[in-house]
Amino acid sequence: MSNKSVYLIGAGRMGRSHAQAALELGYSLQGVCDPRLEARDRLGEEFNVPPQYRFAEASEMLETLDAADLVIVATTADTHCDLVCRAANAFAKAVLCEKPMAVSLEQCDQMIKTCQEKGTRLAVNHQMRFMPQYKIVKSILNDGRLGELTSMNVVGGCFGLAMNGSHYIEAFNFLADVWPSRVSAIFTGVAFQNPRGPQYFDQAGDFYFTSEQGQRLSMSIGHDQGHGMTVMYAGNYGHIFVDELQGEVIVTSRLKEHRNQPLTRYGMPWARETISFPQSDNVEPTRKVIAALMAGEGFPSGQNGRNVVASLVAAYHSASTNGQFVDAVLDTEMTRKNFPWA
């Protein structure tokens, strides 16, 4: 048996994926927690967790078992702060928390502070950086053929801002090395109810994020868009179009010998390349997040998760003002406000 221990809080679909990812890295699932008896027993049977190590309450599991190498929190966002802090206080070496990190910026700050005080490494499962379509784009940007990334434009199917949109905000940072500083948002006005309960819902619409350096992230997502996840990246010398479901990247870029010409000459001779990539699942990128977390570098940190939540909060605030631009660095009142995403 592995001597690397992992405890899982949340035995739903994502919890199962996380458990599988940890096992593939050689961890031993020594405890599972979920208030739903059927869920924790089903996962416990699948991953050979003895009945006495299946818990209804996280506090009981963390008090009963020895300090873990890794605790995974795969529950709804309104429970993340309490559970992450409990894991840190139980001297977990590392915690992987599902996204969005929390339902308020105040909670994010408490999670980061507690983990720092207890010496617990904290990651938030924004795993886009480990998915092939983002690694390909990052490689193209790094080789210089597009120059600097200037904009990232997402047109998505039927999903909410906190649910899937939060991933694109973190991906924007990964690709452009900037965070949004100002946000404008218009909601479609049709809330996304979450199957986890009537108290949870999300919003979609049109969102525009800008960085202090001028890079832009736009998202058009809505209840009336029933298919697709496509992203267009623009740089000084060309574009990258990604059909994330089809698994196709199309790159067009101005030929190198013409890059000294003014950017207003947008029809200069170009090269075109098409790259295919395999469809991703939840297990592989999460496995890479865990590996990076335990290695101590290259993982989406608690501060990254907080920055994403800051952008979400700013978007909600902007929507309440009919789309006026709002600073992503928010005042105390907005820092304390709780939001309904799951």
Give domain limits for the chain.
Answer: 5-124, 125-342
236 with 151: CB under 8 angstroms?
no
Query: 125-342 architecture in CATH?
Result: 2-Layer Sandwich (3.30)
Q: Determine the 3-state secondary structure of 278 from DSSP.
A: coil
Contacts 24+ apart (CB under 8 A), 58-65: 58/9, 58/33, 58/83, 58/86, 58/87, 59/86, 60/33, 61/7, 61/9, 61/31, 61/32, 61/33, 62/7, 62/86, 62/87, 62/90, 63/90, 64/31, 65/5, 65/7, 65/30, 65/31
Angle of helix 105-118 relative to helix 77-89, nearest 10 degrees, comes to 20
Q: Determine the 3-state secondary structure of 229 from DSSP.
A: strand
232: β partners: 153, 241
Same fold across 5-124 and 125-342: no
**pLDDT of the residue at 295:** 97
pLDDT tens series, the chain, 342 aa? 467 999 999 999 999 999 999 999 999 999 999 999 999 999 999 999 999 999 999 999 999 999 999 999 999 999 999 999 999 999 999 999 999 999 999 999 999 999 999 999 999 999 999 999 999 999 999 999 999 999 999 999 999 999 999 999 999 999 999 999 999 999 998 888 888 888 999 999 999 999 999 999 999 998 899 999 999 999 999 999 999 999 999 999 999 999 999 999 999 999 999 999 998 888 999 999 999 999 999 999 999 999 999 999 999 999 999 999 999 987 778 999 999 999
At the fourth CATH level, which superfamily is domain 5-124?
A: NAD(P)-binding Rossmann-like Domain (3.40.50.720)
- Report residue 256 CA to chain centroid gap: 35
**pLDDT of the residue at 1:** 44
Query: Which of 126, 137, 134 has the alpha carbon at shortest distance from 162?
Result: 126
291 with 22: CB under 8 angstroms?
no
**pLDDT of the residue at 177:** 96
pTM of the model: 0.96
**pLDDT of the residue at 291:** 98
